[in-house]
Every structure is written in structure tokens, then in C-alpha cells.
Structure 1
């Protein structure tokens, strides 16, 4: 077994190689692609393919240099009373928060220089490192804790029950987790007035350096429904366009989309939990296959809720304003026009042109009722 120092150095070298490789590839893509919008889309594809490649290469190196056994041995020395199952979970978390995080972050930093040019991003390497590390770490730790609790249950029914409880708790606490991992602040009265957010929704304004997206709905409890909006929208859109974007997010709350999405994800994970209970290679492969099919279904549910939220905004008389906002954000390269050919059935958002077309059709249906 290699020494811990050799293992650390090997993973550091790999992260450096990933960074240089991705940066070279990103420069080539940016140089040969006509137009910044198209370059931004290709760089997104490069980044996301890079995530997968970097993770696989990192895991291969981890197997070669026995990273997980080394981490497990160090944990046992520091806390000999821990159960073997918990030691295994902690060793896996060490791998994810160490080598895998370094590789994925190297991909993100490797594309940053050219993404800044193609998408007009005002980001530093420090901004990206701080935000991405905190979000990634919070996600890994939450998943590790959930995995440990779920696997501790003694039956499939028990595991499903624990998964439902934990997932429900996560859905309830999501607004606070988001606030913890992004830079946000309460909206001012003037910002609430411009956004037209209902009284029972809390509006939070997010620092653009976190790059969390354009807007987001979170929370399910009465009085705890949150809408997060990027700060740049107040300067990049007119008042009706901003109100339309917020109305779309309110539509997620009014349509019950937050718990519906949770249910879709839970349905996708259930076959895998059953397979783990049954044991055996055949059951495991079947569970993975069914979970992958469930994931495709879950993403389809998410895309339908996006269309439904657009329709809600249109019913508020904001359909044309939302279509205009989407197109303006595409011009500003805040939004990309398609989910990307690599996403396919795993895309969480429909293509922008499809959303605009539906909004125009929805507006045409509403117009006769308005003028009658």
C-alpha cells in the first residue's frame, strides 16, 4: 500500500493535469466557435463532460493508490470505537471531499477564463472556489448522512420510510440550506414591489457571484415559501419582465411543484433501495437500470412543471413579458438557449424556444377571454 504522502501528491498532480487539459480544450473551443452564445453552450458541454471524465479518472487513481483503505485506516486509528459501516461511509466521504472535489473543481476553474468571456461573467477564481466548495461539501455531507441513516434501517419498507422522512425534511429545510450556501439577502420593499411577489412568499436576492441560476422556488410550509432571484435581474430586465420571472417561480409554489418533484425523485430512487435489500449482482443491475429509467421520468416531470409555471405566469397577464425576459436573458447569455445535446432526457429545463412558443400560444388563448 502506498504511503499517505504519495497518495496525496498523486491526486494533486492529477487535479493539476485535469486543470491544464480542460483549460487547453476550453481555449480551443472558444477559438474555433463562431459567436459567444454558441461558445457558451459548447463550453457548458465541455465542463459537464469534464466532470464525468475527471471523476472517473480520479476514482481509477484512487483504486490504484488505495485511497479509501488509507482513509479508513486513518479513521480507525483516530476513532477505534466507530462501527465498520460508519468507517466505510467516512472513508467514502473523504474521497468525495478530497480527490473527487479537486478534480471536479479543476474542471470548473479550467473553463472559467473562457466562460467569463462568452457569458460576461464577473467572477474570480476565488469566487468560484469558495462557492462551489461550500455547495459541493454541503451536498456530499447531507447525502452521506442520509445514506448512513437509510442503510441503518433493517428492511426495505423501513428504508423507504426513512428515505421519505429525510427527503421531506430536506424539502422543508431547502430554503435555509440554499441561504447557507449562496450569498443572499432579504429583498427591500422597493424590490418586492417591483417583483410583485405575493405577501405569503419571501423574496431573497442572491449575489451574482454564486451563479446559482436566474431564479428558484423553494420551501413548502405555509409562510415559508421562498423565491430566490439573482441580483442582476433588477438591472438586466424591465419591471414587467422581472415580475414575470418571479410569477413563474410563484407558479411553482401555487402548482405544488416542489413536493411533486420530490415525489418523482423518490420514485426514481426506490428501485435501488429495493435492489440493495435483495442483494446479488442481478438485483443490483436491475435496480440501477430501473433507477436510471426513473431518473428519466423524474426529469420529464420537472420539465412539465416548468411549462406549467410558465402557463401560470401567462394567466397573470405576464406571458409576453416572460417570453421577452427569457429572450433578453439569452441575449445577455445569462440563460443558454438549449439544455445541450448531452443532456437529452436528463435536462431539467425545456429548450428556450419551446418555452417561448408555448407562452405565445398561451397568450393567444388568454387574449379572447381578456377582450370579451
Structure 2
């Protein structure tokens, strides 16, 4: 048996069959799952996926909503540009495609936030199109099985992997593309894993170059390690009559469109920072500092809890803002570390 048919046969017996986005040819649901699964574990995605569909059951409902309505249903998943592109994409489908997903991977790839591999997955699952995928898990399977050297994120290496992927589909004219695509995803996620691949369960073990040469730990070739820049900031947890001041982050940008705490220079005085916003501190408490790692840098955050009263001369927060009771946090689009900080304060009780 050739590579692709072996994957299909294995998927039928050992693959995943109970995920909530399976057993549908609805491109909207397939697209939503594919976008959510980028950089995010299946177990994390499932509750977000179900909640998102309950609020936005189809592309028309998503397109009709505002970005502010969409973001609370994404808060906590991270990589928030995905949610903004999801919303833009829904509006494009409604305006340019009469509310229907384009019928080919090539056309789907022209939509906001959809790359070649995601477009191919949507086309394979929804329309049975013979377009191969090449996401992170599949890159690992292909580099190991075919012995492909070099960092898979480099363009020349990725192009070699695409050529191999296209060849596997071309060599199997009767291939069930949905089963093959799902099989590759399942194999990479559950068997050909990054740390400890379970080669004994692999349907293509006998033809795998990494297994033959005992090079599973060497392939894929790891990226050259880069030093992650470190940045510092301070945040104000301003409390007034039991409410906390939140500001909306500018979009695009880090945490774009989400509600967060006012920031100021970590070397500055928090009481002066509060006064610049138009509030007079009655006390201040230094909270435990923490760090959050983004794709390109690590941010060290020093939070200050500052009860305030209105100052004689109002300041200007300088961004869309609102005072919210901590009990309202569940309904707001907050970055995960900010939500965790505020919920911790709620549990501990707020000093006056």
C-alpha cells in the first residue's frame, strides 16, 4: 500500500471520530474549527468552538455582529488577530460571495486570514477537493517520513514539503480526501508527536526514514534559537466604589480590541499615573509581578492596586474606557493574564 492509502486505512480504525467539528460538510463550521486550532490544543478549543457556534451559528450571524460582540467569545484563546480576521472574512463572504464559501482552495485562500493549508483543509472536508495540507503537525510527519532536512519554516524547505504532499495525492487517484486529511492531522497530533513519537502505532513506520535511521529526535530540524526580547510595563488596577477601570486596546496590536488595564512606565510613580487619568489615589498596594510571553517578546508586568476618588480636575484616559464591577468580568473580552489577575483579586477581597 502507498503512503496516502495507509493513512486513510489507519484513520478509519484508529483516528479521531468524535470531535464536534467532524461529520459535517458545512464550510463555516470547518473553517471556524481550523482557525481556532491554529496554535491551540484541541481540548482548549472544544468549549470555545461550541460557545462561539451557539452565539454565531452561521457566517451571516458572524458578519452581522460587531467586532466588540465577537471578541468576548475569543478571549482566552490568544492570537487575537485570528478573531479579527475571522470577522473580516465573514463580512467578505457575505459581500463578495453572496454568503457562500468559495468552492475551491485557491479561492478560499484569497479570504482574510486564510492561508494555503487552511484553505486546502476546508476544501477537502467541505468539497472533497484534492488539495493537500501542510500544517505544523503534518510538516513533522513529512520531514520524518521522507527524511527532509532543514528548518520547515524556511521557504525552500516548506516548498520541498509541498511538492512531496502534492505527489502523495497524485499517486492515489481514488483517495478519500476528507479521510486522508483527517488522518494526517490525527497522526501528527496523537502518534508522530514532537517529544515522544509512538512509532509502533504508526501506519507508515516501515517506510519512515527517521524511524529507519533512529533520527526521530533530530527531525524536523529545530529552528535556530533566538533570544526573546524582554520588556517591562506597569498596570493600574484603579478601584472606585467597587468598580475597576478598564481601557480598550487599540486594534490592530497586541491584545487588539480587548479590554485591559491602563498601562504606564514601570519606573514611574503609580499615584502620578492615576492622577494623569483624573483620579486621586487614597492608597496604593504593590501586587505580585508576573510575565506573559508573546510570539516575539516576553512582557514583565508590575501591577498596582490603587483605590481612588474623583480628582478636582478630571484627566483624560485617552482610550475607550469603562468602569466595571468584578462580577461582570465573565462577559468581557479580557486578555487571559489580566482576567486571571482580576479574578485573583476578587477571590482575595479588595482593600479600600
Which structure would you say has the larger Rg? 2
* Higher normalized helix content (fraction of residues): 1
Higher relative contact order (CA 8 A, sep 6+): 2
Query: How would you bin the TM-score normalised by the shorter chain?
Result: under 0.3
Q: TM-score, normalised by structure 2?
A: 0.26
* Higher normalized strand content (fraction of residues): 2
